[in-house]
């Protein structure tokens, strides 16, 4: 989880800024059990992209800040998201990068593209790897923003 090493700290900061919010209260607010939140805080469980989006929406922050990829916490106004695969394909086309190149140059296996095409979403760490490779923000990668 090296790519998300700052995630637990960022989540703790956001919870503290909300009046030292407890894991149970945060879990209830986003529809997961408090044990899930504690596992994310302890770094013992990977967070799904879907749950990361829920956290970013709840805290009104961008995904890059939440994931520890950026220092600036820009407020993002949530908007309806396109299917992940559609957004990914758009960014790939914009950057002139093929599926083959991503599979060759990263640890992302080709089978993931098939799963995403069928509607699955990646976990946050895979989204970070893709965003890093494509040199875009996480919010841009998933279609949450245009930048």
Are 2-67 and 84-142 equal in CATH topology? yes
Looking at the domain covering 2-67, what would its CATH class be? mainly alpha
Q: How many CB atoms lie under 10 A from the CB of residue 23? A: 19
Q: What is the pLDDT of residue 1?
A: 43
Kind and range of the H or E run holding 40: helix 34-42
Per residue of the chain (147 residues), what is the pLDDT tens digit?
456 788 999 999 999 999 989 999 999 999 999 999 999 999 899 899 999 999 999 998 899 999 988 876 667 777 788 999 999 999 999 999 999 999 999 999 999 999 999 999 999 999 999 999 999 999 999 999 887
pLDDT tens-place string over residues 23-49? 999 999 999 999 999 999 998 998 999
Locate tokens 């799963």: which residue? 115
Looking at the domain covering 84-142, what would its CATH class be? mainly alpha
**Domain extent listing, the chain:** 2-67, 84-142
d(CA 89, CA 93): 6
């Amino acid at each position: 989880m090296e790519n998300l090493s700052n995630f637990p700290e960022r989540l703790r900061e956001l919870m503290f800024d909300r009046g030292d919010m407890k894991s149970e209260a945060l879990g209830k607010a986003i529809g997961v059990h408090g044990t899930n939140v504690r596992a994310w805080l302890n770094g013992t469980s990977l967070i799904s992209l879907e749950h990361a989006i829920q956290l970013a929406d709840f805290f009104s922050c961008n995904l890059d800040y939440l994931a520890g990829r950026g220092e600036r916490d820009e407020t993002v106004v949530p908007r309806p998201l396109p299917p992940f695969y559609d957004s990914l394909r758009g960014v790939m086309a914009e950057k002139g990068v093929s599926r083959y190149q991503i599979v060759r140059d990263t640890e992302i296996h080709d089978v993931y593209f098939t799963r995403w095409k069928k509607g699955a979403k990646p976990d946050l760490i895979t989204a970070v790897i893709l965003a890093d490779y494509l040199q875009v923000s996480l919010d841009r990668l998933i279609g949450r923003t245009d930048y």
